[in-house]
Chain A
Amino acid sequence: MPFWIKEQRFVGNDSDNSLKGLVSLTNIPDLLQFLSLSGKQGVLKLHGNSMKVDGVVRIEDGILCHVSTARYTGLRALREIISLEDGSFMFTPGESSLDSNLDMPVQFAVMEAVRLNDEEGNGASVRRKEPAEGFDLFALGDDDINWDEDAFSLDEPPLAPKTITTGEASALPETKTASTPNIERNDTAQERSVHMPRRDSTEILSDLLKVPGVDAVVVSGRDGFIIESAGSSSRISIDDLGATIALTINGIEDMGSELEVGRFGDLFIEYGKAVILCKPIGDAVAAIIAPDASKLGIIRHKSKKLFEELTELF
């Protein structure tokens, strides 16, 4: 483990034309999508500080060809990598001699990794990070980033005591430090109440609207009453949406009861001109309207925490 990354052999340009940054200022799915959409080909190296995860990803023409960490390879490694919330990354364009252990479009791979993490409650959600105003993640000088190849050869540095925040708890080791609050791992509401004041729904909806690819967000009661909405869509009438969501969800829940498969947890509908993603939030239903499914992975990522926040309000 300590020398694992050093053993990787990369062929290509040196760090002069590489892209470096701090994971804490973005998140891995965003970064992967950026590299994919900008047609980059090369190797992304990642080092996670608190989780002590080092990873390597090779991207070619929007395809993830290789993903590995010290413990895993392929999709399982990607699941570990996307949970990183701090550390640093360096992307070096060019070809690589890394073996292929995955062959998936970036978008699909990320979605699948998140889905699997969600199912296992593995802290997959990617925390939204808001850089300071005017801050350009990629305009950092080398001195600004504590990028050090030796960082990949960490000899198990002690974890700094840290406070567990929502989404991190499940990713941390079981052992709690003295400064770790005594919080039940699954008690999201309790965690949130300890660490952050409850925001109102308008603020949360406004954050949802900032997620790339989201045109509009609607919160509707089970009876179809539009409780709140944000944004607008030229494709769908928001007022009509409330009534149709209520009708649809009622039908789906009836089906769930009939089939005895539990309550509905997620609904994704793709039409020719719009995509609608519905999720129950407490006694209400939230619907996200997007123009197409191209950013569905990112939308699901970034909206998860916000939906959880909304659930506490309705």
Chain B
Amino acid sequence: MTVLRDTVVKNLAEIEVKGDQDGLIPAFNVLVNNLPTAFWNNFAERMVAAVPADQRAAVVEGLVLSAYECGYHTGYGIITSDEFKSVVEPMVTEGAKDVLRGAFAVFTAWGWAKSGIVQLKEGERMVIRAVDYYESDSGGEGLRAYMINGISKAFFELAYASPYPDGMNTFNCKQTKGIENGDSFGEFVVEKK
């Protein structure tokens, strides 16, 4: 047995999602918001467009870094949450690999990106593919799935780097393909620095 993402998605879909008086949703040990994806896409697009061309790379790096830091802490919240323990953990038989599968299943269930592991060399390299993600609708130029980029690196570090919170900045992630760039899917390669 390994983690079956279909089972995870179906089980998580039954969890009631309801915002508090501030619009935040307490789940998976973290607070999740419920804003339209267009908001985040516009936010990123305007950030990049607002700076001169020679500084855009720095802004892009900042956007990825934001997603990465958020993903590292949120990811830890996810894999230590009661929801994860009750839905995913019973299917975990292959250790960190299955935890990663479970994390990407949750990522999919929450509607962030229909994504999963394509290739995994434990502790060394991982290739993630996303076939449906909100950043593919964003405006701008080039590969711009900043969120999946940061999240992929964060999840891999949670699985294979030093235990939380000391494992940050152990790996790099590079987006190699993107629907927003004309490819049929988005692809992200995580490797050691």
Residues in chain A within 8 A of chain B (CB atoms): 202, 221-228, 242-243, 246-247, 250, 254, 282-284, 313-314
Contact = CB atoms under 8 A, between A and B. Distances in A.
B118 A223 contact: no
B101 interface: yes
A250 B4 contact: yes
B6 A246 contact: yes
B5 A224 contact: yes
B119 A223 contact: no
Contacts of B115: 225
A314 B117 CA distance: 10
Chain A CB within 10 A, most for which of B117, B118, B119? B118
Contacts of A250: 1-2, 4
A228 B118 CA distance: 9
A251 B84 CA distance: 23
A250 B5 CA distance: 13
Given A226-B131, A227-B129, A221 B4 contact: no
Interface string B73-108: 000000000000000000000000000010011000
A225 B104 contact: yes
A95 to B, nearest CB: 54
A224 B4 contact: yes
Interface in B124-145: 129, 131
A246 B101 CA distance: 13
B4 A246 contact: yes
Given A223-B4, A283-B119, 11 more contacts: A221-B116, A221-B117, A223-B2, A223-B105, A225-B116, A225-B129, A242-B6, A246-B6, A247-B6, A282-B119, A284-B118
Contacts of A246: 2, 4-6
B109 interface: no
Contact of B117 (A202, A225, A242, A247): A225
A202 B183 CA distance: 11
Contacts, number: 52
Contacts of B2: 222-223, 246, 250
B120 interface: yes
A267 B139 CA distance: 45
Nearest to A251: B1
Complex A-B, nearest 4 residue pairs according to Cβ-Cβ distance, in ascending order: A225-B116, A243-B6, A223-B101, A223-B5
B11 to A, nearest CB: 13
B6 A221 contact: no
A137 B3 CA distance: 50
A221 B5 CA distance: 10
Nearest to B121: A283
A196 to B, nearest CB: 20
B33 interface: no
A102 to B, nearest CB: 45
A286 to B, nearest CB: 13
A314 B116 contact: no
A181 to B, nearest CB: 28
B37 interface: no
B184 interface: yes
A250 B101 CA distance: 14
B1 A254 contact: yes
A225 B1 contact: no
Contacts of B184: 202
Contacts of B118: 221, 227, 284, 314
B84 to A, nearest CB: 15
B59 to A, nearest CB: 31
14 contacts: A221-B116, A221-B118, A223-B2, A223-B5, A223-B116, A224-B6, A225-B115, A227-B129, A228-B185, A243-B4, A243-B5, A243-B6, A250-B1, A254-B1
B10 to A, nearest CB: 9
Given A221-B101, A223-B105, A225-B104, A314 B119 contact: yes
Contacts of B101: 221-223, 225
B3 A223 contact: yes
Contacts of A225: 5, 101, 104, 115-117, 129
B122 to A, nearest CB: 10
Interface string B5-34: 110000000000000000000000000000
Nearest to A314: B119
A279 to B, nearest CB: 17
Nearest to A249: B2
